[in-house]
Amino acid sequence: MEALHALIQQIRIANGQSALEAIHPDMRWREDLGFDSFALAELAVYTERDFGVDAFADGVPATVGNLAERIRQLQQQ
């Protein structure tokens, strides 16, 4: 999901981190992407704005792939 990957890169850069060469579905927010609570809150807000779904309503998805799948499922409802 290219739009999600672009959003992740945007948040990383806005928070003073460098862009990643690649984002993989198994990447975890804190451990692999360096997201703190503020970055995760930003991601939740921007995900709802950009994809039209509240993918964080049931908690933080563990990985990028989990979030992408949750967005796909919610958009199909």
Which domains does the chain possess? 2-76 (1.10.1200.10)
pLDDT tens column, 10-65: 999 999 999 999 999 999 999 999 999 999 999 999 999 999 999 999 999 999 99
As a three-state string, the secondary structure of 2-71 is HHHHHHHHHHHHHCCCCCCCCCCCCCECCCCCCCCHHHHHHHHHHHHHHHCCCCCCCCCCCEHHHHHHHH
pTM attached to this predicted model: 0.94
State the pLDDT confidence band at 71, using cuts at 50, 70 and 90.
very high
pLDDT at residue 1 greater than cutoff 90: no
